[in-house]
Amino acid sequence: MRPPLVLNRRVFGGVLTLAATSLVAPVVRAQAPLERSTVSIAVGGKATFYYLPLTIAEQLGYFKAEGLDVQILDFQGGARALQAFVDGGADVCSGAFEHTLRLQSRGMPVKAFVLQGRAPQVVVGVSHRTLPGYKGLASLRGRRIGVSAPGSSTDTVCRLLLARAGLAMSDINTVAVGVGNTALTALRSGSIDALSSVDPVMTMLAQKNEVRVVADTRTLRGSAEVFGGPMPAGCLFAASAFIQKNPRTVQAMTNAIVRALKWLQTAGPSDLLQAVPESYLLGDRALYLAAFGKMREAISPDGLLPDDGPRTALRALAVVDASIQPERMELARLYTNEFARRARDLLKT
């Protein structure tokens, strides 16, 4: 069961509209000074491909080029990063778009302002070792399924698949296993029977024939099959009050991310290996590159949220979260493409 979020009213205040923003150059600090040069971003599992644009913006100095000193706070799973953000421990959260829906349903006004992933990249695999007789999702009844953390995207995908197969969450046992090596260890030790996680872990397990992939949202087609439409995934979001108060700072962050997205569209294997920390490769460069090939389509090309994406997210979340009341949600308040459009247009010049 997902732990309740603690609402920080000091951070989120009331619903505020965005102030007008000024143009910011994509590679240098804006002529007008930033409202603040130091910004903290909470993230849940930075070494995964889900957050690759954030890593590239950091590693290639795109944040610094915008005059920003970005402090990235890494947690074991998106739900924990979200809680840190809600508690006021970070200015911005890099996480799943559906978190903005959850926060709005709790009276917390937030906005996503740049998209990193246009598909969730979550893969669900069943262990060949502990469940060799798997014949469909009904085979998971009574079994243990690993997710990064309760309330995370990996948990949401798991819940959605089970609901559509006619299973209740009470029919299975979810286990928080984090990401990376902790998830690998949980699957390989037999402490879980299936795993809902992201790359490069899932590519490694599939290549070694340790899991049977039963759902794959690394491609636009696979994501649409699971969610029924375009599903916005990783994004940067902040309290509406923060965006209204710091528009040039938000624009600078967006510029850096969109520049990273553009870099990723054409980056070659050697470029990628030089850009990411060695520890991200899990000791296997070839596998890391193979995983990148599988999820590359999921990277947003321009940072813009698709207009029909928020509604897809709302439909999916309403299936798995009884606290979400679709008729009370104001989707237009959940995101803005204003900053991403400016960054995209500036990069064209």
User: For every one of its 349 residues, what pLDDT tens digit does the chain have, with 9 covering 90 and above?
Assistant: 444 444 454 444 443 333 333 323 344 444 589 999 999 999 998 999 999 999 999 999 999 999 999 999 999 888 889 999 999 999 999 999 999 999 999 999 999 999 999 999 999 999 999 999 999 999 999 999 999 888 888 999 999 999 888 998 889 999 999 888 899 999 999 999 999 999 999 999 999 999 999 999 999 999 999 999 999 999 999 999 999 999 999 999 999 999 999 999 999 999 999 999 999 998 899 999 999 999 999 999 999 999 999 999 999 999 988 889 999 899 999 999 999 999 999 998 6
Contact 79, 149 (CB under 8 A): yes
CA angle 341, 46, 222 (to 5 degrees): 65
The per-residue pLDDT for 259 is 98
pLDDT at 31: 58
CB–CB of 302/344 below 8 Å? yes
pLDDT score of 181: 87
| CA atoms of 24 and 30, how far apart (whole Å) | 5
What CA–CA distance (Å, rounded) separates 308 from 113? 16
Tokens standing for 188?
């390989």
Q: Residue 94 phi/psi, 5° resolution?
A: -100, 105
Tokens of 289: 């590159």
Q: Give the pLDDT of residue 83.
A: 94
Angstrom distance (rounded) from CA 261 to CA 235: 12
Rounded CA separation 115/304 (Å): 6
Closest by CA position to 148, among listed 291, 4, 44, 6: 44
Residue 30: which H helix or E strand, with range?
none
Q: What pTM was computed for the model? A: 0.86
